[in-house]
């Protein structure tokens, strides 16, 4: 049975199989060795995610799950006084919800590597361009700020350290690159193809660290390049006997 | 539990999660309603595929499988006297193997819609450009021809009709468009992004015909756009009670 990698998160996960998306890259990378299972829920914060997690993963064969990425925080960090206030979750509760999500995942899939991912940074000018100069509520201010999202990103890293889990601090990582605002973010929040590529590389690195690199995982069935053209039949007779 | 759509085939399936690939498009299209499970094996013909099928689908929860695409023939149709002869399968055996694959799938997943897909057309000049003017064996001739592949495509359609299955004749469909040789094929055999897009659209149409359109499938968990901002909690209290 192939191992599977579950992607649990908000819109940055839900849209990860779009063109040049990090989820699609991952599925392509592991095309012969692991299944990538998409569980992305646009607009969700950790409060909602914690409550639906058990339902979201119903039917995924537990024995197969080798890793799960958890990417929430972009919605929790919506400012409580602005246009996306209904998605806002206070920082302390975000921390609690993340802990609860990780505990549920560990309970369900004890052998799986849980990889937390911080929300990406926010480009406030990009947000205003996207939602209109009024900020969605006429205030002229964006509904998210990079500073507030940064606090959630730090909390995410802290929870990971405290729980002994791997973490990808994509909030900090992206801001190491000049021009991150537009090269990695298409609307100040969601990822461009380059942003997707960077996140994909970070996830592949973390999976490798969890002994789930392409090299560490067996290929599912003989690779055509390994088949002796003069004796192809033998590779499949053996398969048949094992069934 | 989400329904799943299994993609079983050769390299045209294995690489379908690459950039602009038809499998990734499909996973994105059904991001909130169905899982797309990749079982692509580059270089495989129906002889090998029939023998490994049971192993290939081990661990996929049977109850979830709503549809499966079967795309083989491009390798079976390799000419027996040229560079890819070891992949060649005679036309009569191709037909038998396809029937055996469909019987195995129906036996394993009686409720699933089986969708056969013919091999795409072959652009011989594109093949020669890709493998080099020598044709891989010094003959100066390509290892596949469009005429031979067309015979396998017709056999695939016949098997589908005979077994009462849906079929996508992508061999004929692509050739309806002037310039198909380079607009749909990148190396005379594998698909460009436009070729992937066309195949994706045909698969979505066939899935819709099998009552698996986006509109027919329920979304997994409440959509953010359906949530009343003033009473978000109620959508998730209900979820919790049901667990």
Would you state the pLDDT for residue A143?
86
Query: Residue A195's pLDDT is what?
Result: 98
- Reply yes or no on whether B213 is catalytic: no
Q: Determine the residue of chain B that is closest to A230 in CA distance.
A: B86
Does the distance separating the beta carbons of A17 and B27 come in below 8 Å? yes
Residue B158 backbone phi and psi in degrees, to 5: -60, -45
pLDDT, average across residues B159-187: 98
Average pLDDT over chain B reads: 94
What was the pLDDT predicted at A203? 98
C-alpha span between A223 and B209 (Å, rounded): 34
Categorize the per-residue pLDDT at A141 as very low, low, confident or very high, splitting at 50, 70 and 90.
confident
Q: If you write DSSP's letter for every residue of A150-172 in order, what string do you get? A: HHHHHHHHHHHHHHT-EEE-HHH
Contact A43 B224 (CB under 8 A): yes
Element (H, E) at A65: strand A65-71
| B243–chain A nearest CA distance, Å | 7
Please give, rounded to a whole number of angstroms, the shortest distance from the CA of A17 to a CA of chain B: 5
- In chain A, the percentage of residues whose pLDDT exceeds 70 is 98
pLDDT over 70 at B243, yes or no: no
pLDDT band at A243 (very low <50, low <70, confident <90, very high): very low
The pLDDT score that the predictor gives to residue A132 is: 82
Inform me whether the C-beta atom of residue A240 falls under 8 Å from chain B C-beta atoms: yes
Residue A212 lies in a domain: yes
Q: Which residue of B has its CA nearest to A16?
A: B28
CATH number where A8 lies = 3.40.50.1110
Q: Residues of B with CB below 8 A from A21's CB?
A: 24, 28
Nearest to B11 by CA among B42, B48, B56, B46: B42
B68 vs B237: which has the higher pLDDT: B68
In a domain, residue A104? The reply is: yes
Question: Quick one: pLDDT band at residue A174, thresholds 50, 70, 90?
Answer: very high
B18 interfacial to chain A (CB closer than 8 Å): yes
- Check if B226 contacts A (Cβ < 8 Å): no
Query: Per the domain annotation, does A171 fall within a domain?
Result: yes
| B133 has a pLDDT exceeding 80 | no
CB contact under 8 A, A31 and B37: no
Interface predicted TM-score (ipTM) of this complex, two decimals: 0.94
Range of the domain at A213: 4-218
Which residue among B31, B42, B187, B209 is the active-site one? B187
- Strand-by-strand arrangement of the B65-71 sheet: B35-40, B4-9, B65-71, B113-117, B166-168
Nearest to A59 among B2, B51, B59 (CB): B2
At residue A47, the 3 state secondary structure works out as: helix
- Give domain status of residue A238, yes or no: no
Query: A143 — contact with chain B (CB < 8 Å)?
Result: no
A40: β partners: A9
Is residue A242 scored above 70 in pLDDT?
no
A2 touches chain B (CB under 8 A): yes
pLDDT in tens, B86-127: 999 999 999 999 999 999 999 999 999 999 999 999 999 999
For A6-55, write each residue's pLDDT tens digit. Answer: 999 999 999 999 999 999 999 999 999 999 999 999 999 999 999 999 99
Residue B132: what pLDDT? 82
Q: What is the mean pLDDT of residues B162-191?
A: 98
pLDDT for the residue A145: 94
Interface of A with B in 29-68 (CB under 8 A): 31-32, 35, 37-44, 47-48, 51-52, 54-56, 58-59, 61, 63-64
Contacts of B238 (CB under 8 A, 6+ apart): none
Chain A partners of B17 at a C-beta cutoff of 8 Å? 24, 27-28, 31
pLDDT of residue A237: 78
CA distance A205 to A219: 19
Confidence category of residue A173, pLDDT binned at 50, 70, 90: very high
- Active site (catalytic) residues of A: 11, 187, 190
The alpha-carbon gap from A190 to the nearest alpha carbon of chain B, in Å, equals 16
pLDDT of A239 reads: 47
Cβ contact, residue pair A56, B221, below 8 Å: yes
**pLDDT for the residue numbered B3:** 97
Q: Does A107 touch chain B (CB under 8 A)?
A: no
Considering Cα of A229, then A232, then A235, then A239, what sign does the dihedral take? Answer: positive
**Cα A3 from Cα A64, distance rounded (Å):** 5
Residue with tokens 């390799």: B78
Longest dimension (CA), chain A: 73
Find the mean pLDDT for residues A221-232.
Answer: 91
Annotated catalytic residue within B4, B10, B11, B123: B11
Helix (H) or strand (E) holding B160: helix B146-163
pLDDT value at B239 more than 80: no
Which range among A57-66, B66-75, B80-89, B191-200 shows the weakest confidence by mean pLDDT?
B80-89
Per the prediction, chain A carries an average pLDDT of 94
pLDDT of residue A241: 45
pLDDT digits (tens, 9 = 90+) for B37-64: 999 999 999 999 999 999 999 999 999 9
Q: Is residue A242 part of a domain?
A: no
| Residues in chain B closer than 8 A to A87 (CB atoms) | 232
Predicted confidence band at A217 (pLDDT cuts at 50, 70, 90)?
Answer: very high
Interval B137-142 mean pLDDT: 83
Higher pLDDT, B237 or B175: B175
- Is residue B169 among the annotated active site residues? no
Considering its fold, how many domains does chain B have in total? Answer: 1
CB contact under 8 A, B17 and A27: yes
Contacts of A242 in chain B (CB under 8 A): 55
At residue B241, the pLDDT reads 45
The answer for residues whose C-beta is within 8 angstroms of residue A202's C-beta and 6 or more apart is A117, A168, A170, A173
Put simply, whether B221 touches A (Cβ < 8 Å) is yes
Q: Which residue has the higher pLDDT, A131 or A100?
A: A100
């Amino acid at each position: 049975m192939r191992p599977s990698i579950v992607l649990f998160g908000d819109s940055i996960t839900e849209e990860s199989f779009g063109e040049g998306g990090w989820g699609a890259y991952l599925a392509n990378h592991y095309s012969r060795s692991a299944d990538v299972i998409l569980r992305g829920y646009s607009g969700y914060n950790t409060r909602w995610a914690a409550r639906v997690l058990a339902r979201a993963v119903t039917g995924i064969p537990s024995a197969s799950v080798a890793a799960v990425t958890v990417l929430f925080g972009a919605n929790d960090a919506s400012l409580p006084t602005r246009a996306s206030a209904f998605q806002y979750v206070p920082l302390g509760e975000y921390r609690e919800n993340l802990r609860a999500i990780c505990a549920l995942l560990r309970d369900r899939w004890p052998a799986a590597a849980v990889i937390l991912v911080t929300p990406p940074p926010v480009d406030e000018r990009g947000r205003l361009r996207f939602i209109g100069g009024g900020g969605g509520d006429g205030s002229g201010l964006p509904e998210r700020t990079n500073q507030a999202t940064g606090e959630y990103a730090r909390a995410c890293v802290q929870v990971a350290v405290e729980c002994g889990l791997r973490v990808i601090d994509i909030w900090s990582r992206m801001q190491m690159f000049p021009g991150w605002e537009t090269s990695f973010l298409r609307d100040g929040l969601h990822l461009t193809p380059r942003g997707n590529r960077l996140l994909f590389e970070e996830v592949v690195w973390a999976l490798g660290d969890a002994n789930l690199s392409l090299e560490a995982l067996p290929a599912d069935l003989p690779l055509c390049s390994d088949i002796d053209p003069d004796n192809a039949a033998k590779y499949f007779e053996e398969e048949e006997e094992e069934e």
